[in-house]
Structure 1
């Protein structure tokens, strides 16, 4: 089925190409359409064949031949299109000289598609022969599979979302004991504390909860999380990066890296989490960096290897994580699913059988319970359906072995790899049930390094650029791709590791799943991973034709930089983020090779996020098909002028760079959807009568002043969902009129600054007409708030900074029915008293009060803020005390006091209420 998923992406891309460039095909339109239709029909032949339990070598051969045929068709057709586009851009003399080449290429494509159609017919004949020899081998249920995928999709969208804390279920005592060990200041031995347990026992989940707990945040000056590596050097570099030390001499020895770590540990209480340590050599090296001398710092280590756990600290027994008991197993399972509503469950005997089946299958392992529960939650809610899944041979082949995980002695707890088999079997089963439209998205995650923290923003836009998302007349591509992510999250295939204001920001793929999908992705030639290789490995070439390259090492070491190895390259993503003293010119040379062979390239994705100053070729416009150009955090100074000539570019991200200008031609990019800048002023003077950016969804980091007027340019952008502006304008009437018409706007950041860069009058009108607006950030002086109707009723996140309000805003803001996050930052309110009224802020969960210099008295009335979870007060030096009402709230999880007077932080009212207060000191 992986081949089918890969082929479906190619067919979708060819369909888009036929629509977008129909005038180019003309004389070969019929042949190309015949190829597309034939490939779609052929795809159904392989749905059953590829999923047969007993693989037939003959069928496997034709599956691989079909995949090669599909890629050849894609290459031939896209090459033809780009050749025509290349010819269009030539000046007249060169264009005249190349007319005969155009005709020749038309004939070449005609012959190519004829050959492709001929090969398709040959494969059909071979398939028919297999059908005759093995009746029933092919069921030809292409349409039924599609229906199943659609049904699965609908069920996934309704599946029960897991409580974020459910992975800690049954381990509350473990958390308490480990937090006590980590915060123990009297212990002076080796700082290593180990959690040891079998695969799937919840080691990482427990460590994550501890790492993010209020007690740990308040105790340590800084923290870092590192997924352990089999290579000591990689682990050391990861630790330095987590410490914020990004510039490291590439030639530094391991000893010098250890010295650098020790230097930065001086006079700090530092917590390092080393997750999933499997190498004794890595552990030995890290013990040198974290010795008894690093007083106050601690290392929390997770491993399934008891020898590693004992070696980490021979004087201190590791914490052994045991499986859940039967009761906790069943209760955790119930948290993941909604029990079927069928009448059978009125029979307690039937329910008892299900309970026994779940307990026997999962054996008390939280990961197995969560994965199985997440999977069953997507199936039809009936007992028979669940029982069918639980009896699936793929699931039970290795699970039901004679292996007991009852409360055993520590030395008998690690008897084998059955737990790894269990987790792998469940993940493989979940993958086999995954709809076709999600498979390319999931396989694509294999090109990221294992354990890599993937920005959700980056991932979704990459999926879009790669052509993985189906088109829908009723939904935007952005809505569609967010739905794909939600489905994979509901299936527990992807985990969110960081959220901000309720939105997912960072995600990771489970490491067990990474091991499963990597060979599948390579089998369908989805990508090639280039890594740092030994001299012997450098002599071995990668696959003959590479479609996507994920660079985990310097591209200068890439073994096959010449055609034909890279002439069909569609994507290049670099993860070689180690900063250097000189720009990365190897990138330019590599891309020049991609372009120079034919005068253009097939590249759709160029993602260099966090690569230090990569040099780009000047003829970037030759990458006609480029959809995604990611340069965030590259610290580049300039862009090639030709970037504005990329006709299909959808995402241009130069945030966190030193790029100060973009070419005027940017306004002609009619397919651009996401433009992320770094306080850049765009020249709009030449575009008063022409602006093609009608598809823009995101404009972030734009600077507007009298040299970049709103009228006739920006006010034509009416489809925006996310807008971030900094402006210095004498009159903002046109700006107000434009913003009021952005009916689709969901996120808005406005910052008003004077000619010296200081906050000034915002001058905005009420935003209540923006019904879809959920996130609002305002920096600059505001007029007094009169009532809650100045903001849209659906507003969930509000941040005010330097608002200079003299009238208490809390009674007004308390009326916003959906507000869950409120940040009142520096000088947003300038008076002495503040009142949160009775029953106000019903949905507020997070409140930050920063640098309210005059605030002395804060009152919270009864039944206000009943759902508040987090409160941070920073540098409010005149504030006398915390409201008693907040200390009595059962929902409060942490109160963070940053740079507050010692007498405030030490107030005994908190001790009386047994509320944990975290105190921090930040350098300004």
Structure 2
């Protein structure tokens, strides 16, 4: 964060002010791109703030908000389960929880006064100093929320601050005072001036410049392309975004515009986005790389240009989740409308049927409609009630409509009133991406095999599904299959016509296919299986040895997992980085660390029922960064992390390990640990002594015994000295 240090100090002081016991609402106001959310996040994560409140929640409101979804988001943040799935029950559950402790709630991006007035009743005022932070573009929203406290109206950055932020993006991880070559200083000054102190404009322009050679000629061309007169605020930002957009290659332009299909402020799963790009045919062919790898490169390129944000990363460092600033999303929508890239169908009253019936390539249906009166036979993508939208929609509006879209490549249908697979899908032979969430669906029919071009098949249901036709596995182009986690569905019978291009197979039930078909799926990278038992031991071990490209393997709801044979099967693999084993491992202790895959980065063991301390093996894995022990992973009383153990570990979570009484961390163990989480370890007596030597940044304690918590009470607890150096402690 650049430029808001003084404003941050003021807000922090208002939050922790012990003289004000009332529940207060603090507002941060400013135009889009001015840094409201950035400032709010910095305040929210401040050490003094973290130690002043007991309950925290951050929810995004946006323009098209749903009170139901907002309350649902708060519930998940504060770990409360309501008695029923209604707004009233959600409100009661939240209010009851918040009455019991001092809370800080952030409502990010509030557009309408009604949003606050509808939420007001769930934030009780019990005179304990609780606070609510609102970020908004509108002063009237701030004044409605709290007429007595002046809102924090953000200013534009001054010249020095603007230069610092710009250079941070152009020359990352360098000293901003010395990083810019002397022959480029004048051009840098001119470019900074063009941004008018607007942080988003500086960030996007800096990202754009960072992709160019550090030469006078290259920078002069950028300056010359921005010769227009200075325009105030948002218009200037849009002009700079347009400059960055126009500089993109043709395929990156398509990738960027696709973000407009997703709802405002949504966090987007990177793999879903890349598979959509793949289905649309956006991704170029590059020698030595899969199209999925090219897709990740495209996402990273857009992130480097600061046109999108990577919000989370996978165990291997690749992008896991991303999002787009709402100002940039507005650019996507504006550009898409001009190019007929996509249309957002809101309701029957506002649709321009003349425009809609022409050549727009994608249709996003946002609101409940009676019938989809739409005749564009050139449609390539249809998003209907999917995760890109606000709510599930009734399927009736689509009845006898789907068949007219013969050229569809992407179809996302999330509805709540369908029990049969829509037969019209059969005629959509160009489909490459099919995502369905039908709450009452019982069967995937045999004609699914008509979709010969299908690459991605995502199926979600609410526990009703009983049968998936084996003909699914005859589709030779299948790459990614995600199935619902339900034991009702019979294991697949793949036969001889197996999809040899398959890279992802998620949540398939265990069965004879493990021995017959699995060893032939040699392109598999990600595999998760439900319900593995000792009966599958030999077949699974034999098959896994032939899957040389496997990077992630998971077993869920396992019975007795044949650990010895599975680990032996992995010992010759060089790609496996993520391993998740849920179920009894049918052994007293883990095998020697030399037998484990040495390149493991992430490991989850749940309900393993190990009798001997697993740390002796796991601490010697050289690349391990994320470790979670859950359920009865270990049934002993003591775990010891010995000196120099876990050299790369960044995150450790120990959840519901009921018998654990003591965790010992010897000197120089876990020397890189940043995050530690204990959940429901009822017999754990105290925080480890050795934690005082660990460079921890985040400590999360959830459902821990009262005595355990009392020992770490700030300044007065007898174990406080062990964790007083930790900046973020959440209890």
Question: Which TM bucket (shorter chain)?
Answer: 0.7 to 0.9
In the other structure, the counterpart of 2:109 is: 276
Per-residue Cα deviation, 1:392-446 (whole angstroms, up to 9, x for no partner): 343x5244x6xxxxxxxxxxxxxxxx12123212211111111112111111222
In the other structure, the counterpart of 1:585 is: 396
In the other structure, the counterpart of 1:36 is: none
Shift of 1:548: 2.0
For the residue of structure 2 that corresponds to 1:379, the secondary structure is coil
Within 5 Å, give how 1:489-528 maps onto structure 2: 489-499=303-313, 501=315, 504-528=319-343
Q: CA RMSD in A?
A: 3.5
* 2:555 corresponds to 1:750: yes
| TM-score, normalised via structure 2 length | 0.86
Within 5 Å, give how 1:528-539 maps onto structure 2: 528-534=343-349
Distance between the aligned counterparts of 1:537 and 1:917, measured in 2?
49
For the residue of structure 2 that corresponds to 1:302, the secondary structure is strand
In the other structure, the counterpart of 1:336 is: 169
Shift of 1:519: 2.6
Distance between the aligned counterparts of 2:600 and 2:135, measured in 1?
41
Task: Tell me which of 51, 64, 67 is aligned to 1:236.
Answer: 67
* 2:77 corresponds to 1:263: no
Asked if 1 retains the 8 angstrom alpha-carbon contact of 2:429 and 2:453, the reply is yes
Asked if 2 retains the 8 angstrom alpha-carbon contact of 1:538 and 1:559, the reply is no
In the other structure, the counterpart of 2:136 is: 303
Q: CA 1:867 to 1:537, structure 2 compared with 1: closer, same or farther past 3 Å? A: same
In the other structure, the counterpart of 2:384 is: 574
In the other structure, the counterpart of 2:302 is: 488
In the other structure, the counterpart of 1:770 is: 573
For the residue of structure 2 that corresponds to 1:678, the secondary structure is coil
For the residue of structure 1 that corresponds to 2:378, the secondary structure is coil
In the other structure, the counterpart of 2:699 is: 895
Asked if 2 retains the 8 angstrom alpha-carbon contact of 1:585 and 1:614, the reply is no
* 2:183 corresponds to 1:381: no
Task: Tell me which of 12, 26, 32 is aligned to 1:193.
Answer: 26
Distance between the aligned counterparts of 2:529 and 2:179, measured in 1?
59
Shift of 1:715: 1.8
Q: CA 1:857 to 1:711, structure 2 compared with 1: closer, same or farther past 3 Å? A: closer
Higher mean alpha-carbon deviation, 234-243 vs 717-726, is at 234-243
Distance between the aligned counterparts of 2:2 and 2:706, measured in 1?
37
Q: CA 1:292 to 1:171, structure 2 compared with 1: closer, same or farther past 3 Å? A: same
Bigger radius of gyration: 1
Shift of 1:339: 8.1
Distance between the aligned counterparts of 1:810 and 1:454, measured in 2?
35
In the other structure, the counterpart of 1:80 is: none
Structure 1 unpaired stretches of 5+: 1-167, 246-255, 402-417, 596-600
Say which structure is richer in strand.
2
Task: Tell me which of 351, 359, 362 is aligned to 1:548.
Answer: 362
* 2:503 corresponds to 1:697: yes
Structure 2 unpaired stretches of 5+: 77-84, 712-716
Task: Tell me which of 645, 650, 658 is aligned to 1:845.
Answer: 650
Distance between the aligned counterparts of 1:719 and 1:175, measured in 2?
51
Asked if 2 retains the 8 angstrom alpha-carbon contact of 1:762 and 1:780, the reply is no
* 2:609 corresponds to 1:804: yes
Asked if 1 retains the 8 angstrom alpha-carbon contact of 2:426 and 2:447, the reply is yes
In the other structure, the counterpart of 2:451 is: 646
Q: CA 1:179 to 1:614, structure 2 compared with 1: closer, same or farther past 3 Å? A: farther
Distance between the aligned counterparts of 2:693 and 2:153, measured in 1?
36
Asked if 2 retains the 8 angstrom alpha-carbon contact of 1:218 and 1:919, the reply is no
Q: CA 1:339 to 1:443, structure 2 compared with 1: closer, same or farther past 3 Å? A: closer
Shift of 1:333: 3.4
Q: CA 1:685 to 1:605, structure 2 compared with 1: closer, same or farther past 3 Å? A: closer
Distance between the aligned counterparts of 1:636 and 1:804, measured in 2?
36
Per-residue Cα deviation, 1:461-494 (whole angstroms, up to 9, x for no partner): 1111111112234221211111111111111111
Within 5 Å, give how 1:296-695 maps onto structure 2: 298-324=131-157, 326-338=159-171, 350=183, 353=186, 356-357=189-190, 359-389=192-222, 391-394=223-226, 396-399=227-230, 418-499=232-313, 501=315, 504-534=319-349, 542-560=356-374, 565-575=375-385, 584-592=395-403, 594=404, 601-609=406-414, 613=418, 616-632=421-437, 634=439, 636-658=441-463, 659-679=465-485, 687-688=494-495, 690-695=496-501
Shift of 1:380: 0.9
For the residue of structure 2 that corresponds to 1:267, the secondary structure is helix
Per-residue Cα deviation, 1:704-734 (whole angstroms, up to 9, x for no partner): 13xx342332221111000001223424112
| TM-score, normalised via structure 1 length | 0.69
Distance between the aligned counterparts of 1:316 and 1:615, measured in 2?
56
Shift of 1:653: 1.0
For the residue of structure 2 that corresponds to 1:710, the secondary structure is helix
For the residue of structure 1 that corresponds to 2:584, the secondary structure is coil
In the other structure, the counterpart of 2:520 is: 716
Higher mean alpha-carbon deviation, 328-337 vs 434-443, is at 328-337
In the other structure, the counterpart of 2:79 is: none
Q: CA 1:458 to 1:473, structure 2 compared with 1: closer, same or farther past 3 Å? A: same
Distance between the aligned counterparts of 2:107 and 2:619, measured in 1?
43
Say which structure is richer in helix.
1
Per-residue Cα deviation, 1:225-261 (whole angstroms, up to 9, x for no partner): 12332x6xx443442343469xxxxxxxxxx998666
Asked if 2 retains the 8 angstrom alpha-carbon contact of 1:578 and 1:611, the reply is no
Asked if 2 retains the 8 angstrom alpha-carbon contact of 1:749 and 1:778, the reply is yes
In the other structure, the counterpart of 2:81 is: none
Q: How many residues align?
A: 698
Distance between the aligned counterparts of 1:614 and 1:397, measured in 2?
58
